[in-house]
Amino acid sequence: MRCPLRVAAPSACIVALLALAVPRASAQTTDRIVTRSGTITGRVVATDTGEVQVEDRNGETKQIPVDQIREVQFGGEPQELKSARSMLLRGRPADAVEELAKIQPGDLDGAEQILLDEVEFVRAAAAARAALATGSDPREPGKQVQEFLARHPQSHHTFEMQEILGDLLSRAGLPDKALAEYAKLAKGPPAFKVRAASARATMLLDQGKHAEALGEFEAALGVDAADDAGLAQKRGAELGRARCLAGLGRGEEAVGVVRAVIGQSDPEDGSVLADAYNALGHAYRGVAGREQDALVAFLTVDLVYNAAPESHAEALYNLVDLWEKAANPERSREARSMLETAYPKSPWARKLAAPKS
């Protein structure tokens, strides 16, 4: 069932009485749908879990599959929402939460429902991803995500939110419930089927079950998803597979896998490359005599691909140890100080502070 979007928010009835005195703060103008292949402009007229419909200036309607969409920008949206969504997409959820807090209650008076729904999505997703990045209590953000899904079952954000909810449930120590959410994700387009299998694999990898996780990552790679969206997700699965191989003592093989992914990646895709160089560092750490190469890989994240806090924190954690082993205690202290100062609540900072067994 497709959901029409141009429905006034409940508050719009009251605001309409004051229309002559108070102009609508978020009147829709031109919407922009940023896809993997370009940008489509027009007016979003409907969504469902599988696509967004946009009407162009000639009155023609186009259907854009959700797995091709990077971002939907709504005409007239507050700058704070635009900035927060950008931060969320770039792996800065805590900053996104702070940016959304700048929106004042009156800023959305008269806004159409589609815009209010988008604010709700970004707020819930940012809070959830911030909790996942810092290892904080997942219960409250999990409640926000569940409420969003209950209120907006036909949102074009549904699959993404199901994945986030699964991740939160996994972090909360509820693997069966997490798997149930990943199963819903697997009902989506092929790219989401890859993400579902990768999510199951990541849960196992976090538990140190490298062999089982490897099987799930290989299942993700076996999904019939040959379009750009599917191939992009498979590159992430390849990196997970490489981490499993490294954990199983197959470091040289893992290096080859990661090197192939780096060669296939967009040089401007800092998020993917940060994950890739971290995976490369772990792969080299699994090969005798390649600690210098591991250091260079993690240093690449620190110096070049450091925009995503979680990836940067992981690199810094490894650099603390690798600089020490390279007989450079000063650089080790610098890495430690940066990790503890910039990412004090991250799992990597807590791991660094934990007593050595």
pLDDT of residue 61: 94
* Per-position pLDDT tens, the chain of length 357: 454 444 444 444 333 333 333 333 334 468 999 998 899 999 999 999 999 999 988 899 999 999 999 999 999 899 999 999 999 998 899 999 999 999 987 888 888 898 999 999 999 999 999 999 888 899 999 999 999 999 999 999 999 999 999 999 999 999 999 999 999 999 999 999 999 999 999 999 999 999 999 999 999 999 998 888 899 999 999 999 999 999 999 999 999 999 999 999 989 888 899 999 999 999 999 999 999 999 999 999 999 999 888 999 999 999 999 999 999 999 999 999 999 999 998 889 999 988 775
Give 327's contacts (C-beta < 8 A, 6+ positions apart): none
* Mutual angle of helices 228-247 and 251-264, in 10-degree steps: 160
pLDDT of residue 2: 53
Class of residue 331 by CB neighbours under 10 A (exposed 0-12, middle 13-18, buried 19+): middle
Query: What's the pTM?
Result: 0.83
* Cβ atoms of 148 and 161 closer than 8 Å: yes
pLDDT of residue 16: 36
pLDDT of residue 26: 39
- The torsion region of residue 289 among left (phi > 0), alpha (psi -120 to 50) and beta comes to left
What are the structure tokens assigned to 313, written together? 């924190």
pLDDT of residue 357: 57
Rounded Cα gap, residues 291 and 319, in angstroms: 11
Instruction: Tell which residue, 154, 188, 149, 194, has the closest CA to residue 169.
Output: 149
207-215 contacts, C-beta under 8 A, 24 or more apart: 208/247, 210/244, 210/247, 210/248, 211/244, 211/248, 213/240, 213/244, 214/241, 214/244, 214/245, 214/248
pLDDT of residue 91: 86
Q: List, in order of start, the domains of the chain with CATH numbers.
A: 1-149 (2.30.30.100), 261-357 (1.25.40)
pLDDT of residue 159: 96
**Residue 129: enclosing H or E segment and its boundaries?**
helix 113-134
